[in-house]
Every structure is written in structure tokens, then in C-alpha cells.
Amino acid sequence: MAHLSGCVGLAAVDAQKAGARTRELTKSEGPTKGRQEMSDRRPCVRLLAEPNQERHMQAVKVRSLDLLRKKRGLFIVVEGLDGCGKSTMARSLAEHFNARQMTTSASRFGQAREALEQAVGSDPVARQMLFATSVAAAAREIRELRAQGESIVLDRYWLSTLVYGQVIRKIDLQLDVFEDSLERPDMTFFLDAPASVRAARLRRRSATGEVNLEDWLTLEADRDGPLRAGIIAGLKRPIAGVGVVLDASGDDPRLVYDTARAEADRVQLSA
């Protein structure tokens, strides 16, 4: 697998061909700077290097050996706040790579979900651990599928679980050991859209009853900013793989899809 610095250089060339602006997001950049650069409504791709390069390169070497030995499938995560278009993006990427589309929501527990939610009640710590358990179950299944050569596109993963718990449920559990045990994706996309755009999309979606209270809470100013900043910061963690931020505020989602597919193709070829 190519070194990340090389990946960043290649991304700049290909993203320009896709009509996107590409640049590296540095650790010093504030959470509002990226918002100002979304005015031309084109996909903005930012590849994020790991803050701990030594730890990252060790993970890269291990993953490269696994790929050679097992021919493991590609693993892509799509993150984003409610109404950003991540589910549609996940479906598009799954079709492009002939991959299995999955989620890590509590709905994975099927008929047992209602009983589990009644059991934990309104306790925020218990609810956070319920969502973490759902992620762990998905990670185990994905690890097995990849070992068989199957590619996976996942609609939300650990970063959403962690950051939504911190911002929405006001829970900040120290789960680093838990995080290290999860299956690591090859890359994570974060679809970035302002609250005004997301609100319009959620209003259209609410006509079919697909919006819950937590979705609306993400639109509030004291939650929208921290949620966005928390997930973008999380893209620098090893659990994200190669992190890519895409401007999803435009009216034509095809531009975003084309850019995402080009970035994912590059990661697959470099593996």
C-alpha cells in the first residue's frame, strides 16, 4: 500500500479531473474554515494524514500483509450528519464496487431492538453501550466477510457512535481499547453539508416518517458544529483509515458520487 503522502499527491490530480478542489486538512485548521470553502458548491476533497504516523504505518503494513495473504475485500465507511445524503452515497458506492451495503444502527438487533431499548430505558450510558455493541457486532461480521473476499460499504461506523454519544447524549466514555479491537476500514468518507441544506432534506424525508427526534436535534447550532468538528477530527484516527471530506451541499449529487468513486478506486488500486 502506498504511503499516505503519495496518496495525497495523487488525490490532488484526480480530484481536479472530477471537478473538485483537493487539499490536505491540517491539525491546526478550525472547524469553520472548511465551511467557508464550500461556496462554489463543488465537491471538496481533503485527505487527512494520521497524527500518529508510526502507529498508522504499522497498521498499514499489517493490513497490506493481510491483503496479500487473504485477498481481503475493500471496506469503505460513509459518515455524515442526518440529511447529508450518506445512505444514497453508500448505495452508490456499493453498486460501483459490487459490494454489500450494511449499517451499524441498533436496527441490526431486529425484533429484539424494542426489548433492548426498554431494558436500558433512558439511561444515556446504557444507550451508548447498546450502540457500541451494535458496532462491535457489525465489525465482527465485516471481518469475516472481508476474509472471504467480499467488499463492504458501511453506512456509519464507530466515529458516529462516539461523537453522537458525546454531543447528543452527553456521554464521553473512554473506549480506546474497544476502538482498537474494531475492524479498520480502508477509507472513511464524511459528507459535509450545512444545517440549512440538511433541514430542507429532512423536511422532505419527514413526509414518509423516516425522521426521528435525534435527527432534528442535529440541526441545532450547539450540536451541528460540534458534531461536524468531532467527526472531522476523528478522521485522523487509525479507525478511519484514509479520511476524505466531501462537500455534499450542492444540488447535483452526481458530482459528489463521481469524486467519491474516484477516491475509492485509488485506494483499492494502491492496496
CATH match for 4-270 among 1.20.59.10, 3.40.1160.10, 3.40.920.10, 3.40.50.300? 3.40.50.300
Identify the H or E element spanning 246: strand 242-247
Grid cell at residue 9: 499527491
- Distances in Å between the Cα of 268 and the Cα atoms of 136, 256, 264 are 24, 18, 6
Closest by CA to 226, choosing from 189, 195, 184, is 195
Q: Where are the domains of the chain?
A: 4-270
Task: Name the DSSP class of 52.
Answer: S
Grid cell at residue 154: 458501511
Q: What is the pLDDT of residue 31?
A: 44
Residue 6 pLDDT > 70, yes or no?
A: no
Residue 160 pLDDT > 90, yes or no?
A: yes
Q: What is the pLDDT of residues 26-67, one digit of tens each?
A: 334 444 444 444 444 444 455 554 445 555 455 544 554 444
Q: What is the pLDDT of residue 252?
A: 87
The residue with cell 497490506 is 64
Region class of 83: left (phi > 0), else alpha (psi between -120 and 50), else beta: left
Give pTM, 2 decimals.
0.73
Q: What is the pLDDT of residues 185-229, one digit of tens each?
A: 999 999 999 999 999 999 988 887 777 888 899 999 999 999 999
User: Would you say 64 and 1 are in contact if contact means Cβ atoms under 8 Å apart?
Assistant: yes
Helices (H), the chain: 4-17, 33-36, 53-70, 86-97, 113-120, 124-147, 158-167, 176-180, 195-206, 213-217, 221-234, 253-270
Closest by CA to 4, choosing from 46, 42, 33, is 46
CA distance 127 to 122: 7
| Dihedral sign of CA atoms 51, 56, 54, 12 in order | negative
